[in-house]
Amino acid sequence: GAVVSQHPSRVICKSGTSVKIECRSLDFQATTMFWYRQFPKQSLMLMATSNEGSKATYEQGVEKDKFLINHASLTLSTLTVTSAHPEDSSFYICSAKIAGGRNEQFFGPGTRLTVL
């Protein structure tokens, strides 16, 4: 099956620093990737849709200048949390849709961000 990886799996950073999370599709090309945020014991909330070669589409209420998304290739999307604060601490999950028409999305294992 299609595999999506995320790196790092866990990151702890100081308040005010920036953190980059990578999402890679290992064995397929993904024109569209998605970034979700999940607080403890809550559902996944879509943050943005990342399209290869174009600007990301952000959901209402998500600050695009704080959560920078880059989808520079068909196998890699990155999420950078800029000037992170403790309230940004969360579990971030990416998913990827196979280019060419398959409907299923494949999820990465997630990244736990803790901002001190």
Partner 1 sequence: AQTVTQSQPEMSVQEAETVTLSCTYDTSESDYYLFWYKQPPSRQMILVIRQEAYKQQNATENRFSVNFQKAAKSFSLKISDSQLGDAAMYFCAYRSAYSGGSNYKLTFGKGTLLTVNP
Residues in contact with partner 1 by the rule CB under 8 A: 32, 34, 38, 42-46, 49, 51, 57, 91, 93, 95, 97, 103-105, 107, 109-110
Task: Determine how many CB atoms are found less than 10 A away from the CB of residue 58.
Answer: 18
- Rounded Cα–Cα distance for residues 80 and 20 (Å): 4
Which residue, 14 or 101, is less far from partner 1 as judged by CB? 101
- Rounded to a whole number of angstroms, the minimum distance from the CB of residue 30 to partner 1 is 11
- Rounded Cα–Cα distance for residues 59 and 39 (Å): 17
- Rounded to a whole number of angstroms, the minimum distance from the CB of residue 54 to partner 1 is 9
